[in-house]
Amino acid sequence: MFSEKELAYIKTHRLTRIATVSPDGQPDVAAVRFEFDGEYFYVGGRSFLTTLKYKNVHAGNTRVALVLDDIDETIKGPRGIKVHGHAEIVEREGHFGAAKYLRITPERSWSWGIERAAFENGKPVFQRNSKKKSH
């Protein structure tokens, strides 16, 4: 789903922001450490079962969004990746040991400033990717 340049960019990051939605429709965003195995993003944490991200997904709101971004000082511009996908709760051995984690399956992504400049002729440039659905 991700290009080689996007994969390299993801590997340089340890922190992302995750957005989830509560049962009453309240959005929540949190900065989190993540792991990426080339197919799935994993998010866990200390006291993970008490967090809103866990509670929101556990309540059945499995749609999530991630953003990894920064400013590239060499080109003086933004770059990043936004991911839409769905999360499920899994048990695994990860950064926080053997525990429950959110496993996030990316379905669609947008990147900027990675494949080419984030702006051309004053307009934003996005690279859009969608996961191919298997039948």
In this structure, which amino acid lies at residue 126?
Answer: F
Residue with tokens 């494949």: 115
Pick among 1.10.287.950, 2.30.110.10, 3.40.50.360, 3.40.50.150: CATH of 4-130: 2.30.110.10
In this predicted structure, the answer to whether residue 133 has a pLDDT above a threshold of 60 is no
44: Cα separation from own chain's centroid? 13
Residue with tokens 């939605």: 21
Angle at CA 91, nearest 5°, toward 34 and 129? 45
If you average pLDDT over every residue of the chain, what do you get?
91
Mean pLDDT of 17-21: 97
Domain locations in the chain as residue ranges = 4-130
Q: What is the pLDDT of residue 127?
A: 79
Q: What is the pLDDT of residue 77?
A: 81
Confidence of residue 128 (pLDDT cuts 50, 70, 90): confident
Angle at CA 16, nearest 5°, toward 122 and 49? 150
- Token reading at 43: 């998010």
Q: What is the pLDDT of residue 135?
A: 38
- The 10s digit of each residue's pLDDT in 90-103 is 999 988 888 999 99
- The 10s digit of each residue's pLDDT in 40-84 is 999 998 899 999 999 999 999 999 999 999 988 877 789 999 999
Q: What is the pLDDT of residue 70?
A: 93
Confidence of residue 115 (pLDDT cuts 50, 70, 90): confident
Helix ranges (H only) for 17-127 are 52-58
